[in-house]
Chains A and B, each alone.
Chain A
Amino acid sequence: MAVGNWFRVILAVLCASAAGVACAEDVDYLRDIKPLLAEQCGKCHGPKKQEIGLRLDTTASALRGGDGGAAIVPGKAAGSLLITAVIGKSETVSKMPPEGAGLTEAQIALLSKWIDAGAKAPADEQPLAAPENKHWAFQPPVRAPLPSVRDAAWPRGAIDTFLLARLEKEGVAPSTATEKSTLLRRAYLDLVGLLPTPAEVAAFEADPAPDAYEKIVDRLLASPHYGERWGRHWLDMARYADSNGYTRDFGRQIWKYREWVIDSINHGQPFDQFTVEQIAGDMLDKPTPEQLTATGFHRNTLINEEGGTDQEQFRVEAVADRVATTGSVFLGLTLGCARCHSHKYDPISQIEYYEFFALLNNCDEPTIEVPSNLQIARGELEKRTQMRAKVKELEAELEKQRMQLDEAQKAWEKTVTPQQRARLPGPVQVAYDMLFEKRDAANKKLIEDYFRETDEARKAFPVLEDIFKLKQGEPNIPTTMILRERDKPRETFVHKRGDFLDHGAKVHGGVPAVLPAMQVKREATSGESKDKARGNRLDFARWLVAGENPLTPRVVMNRDWQKFFGRGLVETEDDFGTQGSLPTHPELLDYLAREFVEVGWDVKRMHRCVLTSAAYRQSSHWRTDLAERDPQNKLLARQSRLRLDSEIVRDVALSAAGLLTNVLGGPSVFPPQPEGVYDFTQDPKNWKAATGADRYRRGMYTHFWRSAPYPALTVFDAPNGNVTCTRRIRSNTPLQALTLANDEAFVECVQAMAQRIITEAPADQVARAEYTFRLCLSRAPTAGEREQLAQLARQETETFTKDLAAAKELLPKGLESLTSTQASELAAAISLCRVILNLDEMITRE
């Protein structure tokens, strides 16, 4: 309906009622209006409930309005949403109240008159008291007294006591402890993501000390690989990737952030500091390069570089992603729901969403250089300054030849074929597509720089060759992407229906009212605007991990629990709101949350606590008595068999093969991948498989292109890096089978493993099969398995002894000179290793 139309409707109503009684008298707010609004609107827009974020129990809150803006405009009844709504003739504003007869014409006239007269109300009008929000997750965690249990011998600590009390209530017994070998493998894979060696298994099995296992756990927690394993979990949530996403998906450099995560976890940085540095490290007093690097957490958002895009639209999209990510990762709240309208289920209004948004909406997004200590010590920065000065000199000289250079460039551009064009780096392609004269300065420079490094240009202009050499010789200083708070705050508005172009009310930073208030550390000084004292990103970061925040410690402990047991105590690990599932063991969750804060947010200590529990040590075998009782294992009367994460699938194969390059940190690497991965991307990606040690790095260091990720990672459900991932799914598909069986990276593992066992294992083929089994599965085979292994070993040896040609076909390159006995022996070993590498148990925790 056009604006004019509803205006006419209102006029008609006003005129009609002007003749009525109501207009003849003065309107009294307390007598006429307040009771009317309470009766007609109070159920949905009162203290109990605020549909679309609107409450009408005070005039002030009506003025503040809801998702659609102010409900009343004093002096303008005809322009007030409230009136439009109660008239109910608009196409864009729903009729209110939605049910029942609605307001009479006289009542509408009364309301209109009051608004036209300025919507006056007593200055001291107080909102009605809101009923307390009783939802469990918003209450502070309480340390409940330890319940009493009948089987006092089973619990090893508080975790077990809570679990057992529940089990006893249900009349279910916990499972027996798993075999020592299984426990060791489980702990290794959970804490460091690597296999224990057969020698480590044997030593542990032989160690009679009562604290043998605890010592192992301590050793693993101190291992640098613990930071890798748990760092990768964190990177899932940080949506880490090495490219910008969207359609062009150009590369980016932010691996320093990944390194920071690994280091922080290894150093046992308390989780509260870990959080503050990532959310607002740039705002700390004299931030260190590490603290700046930490803010990369919220720089892992996507960047759209497609020609013709509205940069503001995608900047807003990135901030919205930061809000959603912060909500999921720290608060377990589905804040994104309130972007377009007030949250349907949780007490978060759309205005509160944008108050939250405002806290994260005030930063610039620079890239900084982070030279290593070694580079600083070597004086590489100074060296580079000198080189750059020299380049500048040469370039100035070059300007004299500007005309010739331009002509040469134009001539070169004409020779570029469509195929060559397709191979130009993305941004250069964009510049190339523009007419020479029409390029803006940035694009002009882009293609100029590219051209000046081509062989033909360097041949034609020797100065270019000199410049090229100088640039090639420049020390390579890594960069990383960070946040930097702006001095002048960006204004934030409510985006009506989530549309960034449709501004509603202006808002300031703040946290949802249902949660404890945010402490603002500073007073506004006299010269400072009031905004500064309202709370900024740093206050917000501290608020996330303030002791009184009921959500963060619960959410973090629940998620770690999920990693160790396969599901959280709250199954919906990213939704602790009213639509999420209830905790299966609320007192245990609260115990963990309280303990976590009280031990100073010490994550390693909490992990030790879980790993040394009797619950964790249980067998994961299926129990028929639980099949119907507890098919999803909510009671935790047993452990779970969990398929390994995609990176770890690679890591265990590499480590069993003896190929793994155990270097921590550094830039991303390029292991071999199948041909044809980029047949389907817009721009072909650069992927030259490493040939040296980097070919065999852990999966977490594999370069991650968002538009075409490394296939062996995605096939095992690595997250896509586009949005935060707080829980990976575990699929089980034929493509996984094809990857493990046929992918070049895994074939190399099989070949290396075969050579390894020939050197290490006893010469007897059956003993060798058993050795391989132990190497990969960290346990001895059962009698049945031993029989099958023996049969397999014999069969393969026989096959390849008979068919030497087939054996030679199987051998890796460079082994042509093997004797026929050696060749058939190695071929049989390859067959054997291939079978064991493909077992379900190999890619499962146990």
Chain B
Amino acid sequence: MSPSLDITRRHFLQDCRIGLGGMALASLLAEGNGQVSAAGSSAASDPLAVRPTHFPAKAKNVIFLFMAGGPSQFELFEPKEKLQELGGQQIPQSFVANKRFAFIKQDAKLLGCVRKFAKHGESGQVISECLPHLQTVADDICTLRAMKTDVFNHGPAKFFMNTGSPLFGRPSMGAWITYGIGSESKNLPGFVVLQSGPRGPRGGAPNWGSGFLPTSYQGVPFRSTGAPILNLDNPKGIAREEQERFIGAVNSLNKLRLTETGDGEIATRIASYEMAFRMQASAPELMDLAGESQETMQLYGVEKGKPSFAMNCLLARRLIERGTRFVQLYHTDWDHHGNKGTELGESLDKICKETDQGAAALVKDLKRRGLLKDTIVVWGGEFGRTPQGEVRDLPGRDHHIESFTMWLAGGGVKPGLSLGKTDEIGYYGVEDQVHVHDLHATILHLMGLDHLKLTFRLQGRDFRLTDVHGKVVEKMLA
């Protein structure tokens, strides 16, 4: 472990649990006479203070577009001639011996795909007609076509994609990264979660939880209408000036107590109230899209006052601009099993329409603003879908963990790259397979963090985002 992170770790193991007291006080004393400066927080007492990376970073921020439910790679990215040919037939036994599935039986029949595919951009990335906007940024994205995960149920698989473990209660990638290097924002949380679609993602809060890391690192859900954070608005009847007066009174009494007891926790409390007050102003400012040009709104396809995935994409850019380290967008529901409302026909069209433009616009907008080089955009779900169809009323596919597609853009990822091949029916990855642990290791690497060194000791063990696995995928690096 590098010295800097070692200090961080010791700081949390020894000081945070007992209190940030000692270190905060030391920094206050250094400022003279125990007087608290206007800034209040010092690096030591601020768990989200920017901390050095293990080695120079390629990227500063992450925007993870989480396509909850598991998008079908066969309808979006992976045309398979052989699958078309064998459609309606039983899958050869060699593929499915000893496999378990959530719903289908081993003998389910293969399902061909009715979507049309073409190569796009100079790079010739293969993308289906379902994602016309993504086609226009084909040369900016890196597609991983042989992704692999370990778990085939939604909840555990989401935990796995987010935390590297199928179990409840491990720290998520956003938490690990803010724990490792803090956040640039002084007025907004370092890790923000946005949600669109008919309902929340399965598994809920542990997907962006801090697990055993201090709660300062958990993702803060922002709602896209009204006040974005719980309790952000003043209680009824309290104007901003009154709130300022109130914070002033609280803090001046707190300062007296600080002088009396010398407990640095009080200094942190003072800083917390100040930041809360700033957040009350900066969060609504973040949500206020009045300053965005008509052209930008059209680029994303945002309609004023109407929450959508596109609006969340725009908010993600605004968050990154304001220094938030990690933004995660969830959009439900890609779980196309083949019931009414969950089939690969109209339902898939609908969800593609909801997400395609916003995602592509985000890449374009970041690029033209010079932000893409510092920002990793990740698109994908918790797993993919089977080459077999389900026996339901309408066309649909079951959960598939052996191979699926994700894409990344920006932040030191090689643009225009198509990495990974699957077998002739798209069942298994056969070349350049990228496991979820490898993806995590690579994202950390781009952020300047060594996944082997970013650890937290618990119950006698040093835990990592990548557990005991993961290797950086060198081929993905620009």
Contact = CB atoms under 8 A, between A and B. Distances in A.
Contacts of B126: none
Interface stretch (B106-114, B135-143, B212-220, B428-436): B212-220
B287 interface: no
Interface in B188-212: 193, 195, 198-206, 209
B250 interface: yes
B237 A707 contact: no
Interface in B19-54: 19-22, 25-26, 47
Given A674-B231, A731-B215, A707 B205 contact: yes
B290 interface: no
A304 interface: yes
A747 B235 contact: yes
B132 interface: no
Interface stretch (A70-78, A305-313, A385-393, A584-592): A305-313
A466 interface: no
A566 B261 CA distance: 16
B262 A810 contact: no
Contacts of B154: 247, 306
Given A632-B22, A732-B272, A742-B235, A621 B169 contact: no
A345 B460 CA distance: 9
Given A720-B209, A732-B269, A735-B220, A247 B263 contact: no
Interface residues of A, number: 104
Q: How large is the interface on B (under 10, 10 to 19, 20 to 34, 35 or more residues)?
A: 35 or more
B19 A707 contact: no
Residue of B47, B223, B237, B275 with most partner-chain A CB within 10 A: B237
Contacts of B102: 307-309
A688 B265 CA distance: 36
A580 B460 contact: yes
Contacts of A706: 168
A742 B232 contact: yes
A632 B246 CA distance: 33
B449 interface: no
A733 B216 contact: yes
B25 A831 contact: no
A289 B260 CA distance: 53
Interface in A719-741: 720, 722-723, 727, 729-739, 741
Given A435-B393, A810-B238, A840-B257, A708 B215 contact: no
A785 to B, nearest CB: 6
A212 to B, nearest CB: 25
B212 to A, nearest CB: 9
Contact of B460 (A306, A334, A679): A334
A646 to B, nearest CB: 11
Contacts of B247: 741
B18 A418 contact: no
A422 B199 contact: yes
B153 interface: yes
Contacts of A676: 223, 226, 230
Nearest to A682: B202
Nearest to B22: A631
Contact of A679 (B223, B237, B273): B223
A621 B230 contact: no
Interface string B323-336: 00000001000000
Contacts of A730: 16-19
Contacts of A334: 459-461
Given A640-B19, A676-B230, A732-B269, A306 B202 contact: yes
Contacts of B158: 247
B203 A682 contact: yes
B201 A835 contact: no
Contact of B253 (A346, A714, A732, A835): A835
A834 B279 contact: no
Interface in A644-685: 674-684
B221 interface: yes
A782 B258 CA distance: 13
A73 to B, nearest CB: 24
B459 A336 contact: yes
B108 to A, nearest CB: 13
Interface string A235-272: 00000000001111100000000000000000000000
A306 B246 contact: no
Nearest to A304: B155
A739 B153 contact: no
A681 B200 contact: yes
A811 B238 CA distance: 11
Contact of B204 (A249, A575, A640, A733): A249
A844 to B, nearest CB: 8
A737 B273 contact: yes
Contact of B167 (A317, A435, A567, A624): A317
Interface string B293-336: 00000000000000000000000000000000000001000000
A302 interface: yes
B448 to A, nearest CB: 25
Contacts of A633: 18
Contacts of A785: 253, 256
Interface of B: 14-22, 25-26, 47, 100-103, 152-156, 158, 167-169, 193, 195, 198-206, 209, 214-216, 220-221, 223, 226, 229-239, 242-243, 245-247, 249-250, 252-254, 256-257, 260-263, 265-266, 268-270, 272-273, 275-276, 279-280, 330, 339, 341, 392-393, 399, 459-461
Given A622-B21, A739-B231, 11 more contacts: A306-B154, A308-B153, A309-B153, A337-B459, A433-B339, A624-B262, A680-B200, A680-B205, A707-B204, A729-B17, A731-B47
